[in-house]
Structure 1
Amino acid sequence: MRYWMPGKFLIKGVAQLLHTIPVYGCSECSEVHVALEGHQIKDCLGPTSRDRHSLHSWVRGSIDDILVPIESYHLYDPFGRRIKHETRFEYDRIPAVVELCIQAGVDIPEYPSRRRMKPIRMIGKKVIDRGGFLEEPKPWRLGNPSTPVDFDTYRANERFPPPLSEDIPRIAQETMDAYDFVRSASMEGWKSMAGKMQFVDEVFPPNCVWHVRDPRGPPLRSALKRFYGKAPAVVEVCMQAGAQVPDRYKPMMRLDIIVPESDEAKLVA
Structure 2
Amino acid sequence: MPVYMSKFLSAAVLSRQNCTATSVFLSRWKHAHCLFSTGSNYADLPMKRKKSERKPWVTSISELKRRARQERKEKQMVHEKILRPPENGLLVKELIPVAHEVYAARSELLACVSRVVRRIAVYVCSICSEVHIGYPPHKIQTCNVAGSLTSKEHSWKKGDLEHVLPVVESFHLYDRLGRAVSHNERLHVDRVPAIVELCVQAGFDIPEYPTRRRAFPAYCIAGRIIDFERRFPKIDAPDKDISTFGFWHKQEKSSENFSSNDSHNDDIEETAARGMDAWERLRSGASKLMQKYAVQTCGYCPDVQVGPKGHRVRNCQAYKHQMRDGQHAWQEATVDDLIPPVYVWHVQDLDSDRPLLNDLKMYYGMLPAVVELFAQAGAHVSDDYAGVIREDVTVPRLDEEMFVV
TM-score (norm 1): 0.85
Who is 2:293 aligned against?
193
- Code of the residue aligned with 2:255 in structure 1: it is D
User: What SS class does the counterpart of residue 55 from structure 1 fall into?
Assistant: coil
Q: What fraction of aligned residue pairs are identical, expressed as a percent?
A: 36
Structure 1 unaligned blocks of 5 or more: none
Distance 1:121 1:212 in 2: 54
Whether 2:252 is the aligned partner of 1:150: answer no
Which moves more between the two structures, 84-93 or 168-177? Answer: 84-93
Distance 1:122 1:259, change over 3 A: farther
Q: How many residues align?
A: 259
Distance 2:205 2:287 in 1: 19
Aligned 1:65-84 pairs, distance under 5 A:
65-84=163-182
Q: Write out per-residue CA displacement over residues 12-59 of structure 1, whole angstroms, 9 at most, x where no aligned residue.
A: 1000001001010000012100011210001012322243x1100000
Aligned 1:98-137 pairs, distance under 5 A:
98-116=196-214, 117-118=216-217, 121=220, 128-129=224-225, 131-132=227-228, 135=231
Who is 1:182 aligned against?
282
2:364 corresponds to which of 223, 228, 245:
228
Whether 2:389 is the aligned partner of 1:253: answer yes
2:145 corresponds to which of 37, 41, 46:
46
Q: CA deviation at 1:216?
A: 3.8
What is the root-mean-square deviation in Å for CA atoms of aligned residues?
A: 2.8
Structure 2 unaligned blocks of 5 or more: 1-99, 296-331
Q: Write out per-residue CA displacement over residues 210-268 of structure 1, whole angstroms, 9 at most, x where no aligned residue.
A: 10112342111111111111111010000100111111112211111111111222322
User: What SS class does the counterpart of residue 94 from structure 1 fall into?
Assistant: strand
Contact 2:341 2:369 in 1 (8 A): yes
Distance 2:279 2:357 in 1: 29
TM-score (norm 2): 0.58
Distance 1:28 1:68 in 2: 17
Q: Write out per-residue CA displacement over residues 159-184 of structure 1, whole angstroms, 9 at most, x where no aligned residue.
A: 976963xx111001000100111111
Distance 1:246 1:42 in 2: 29
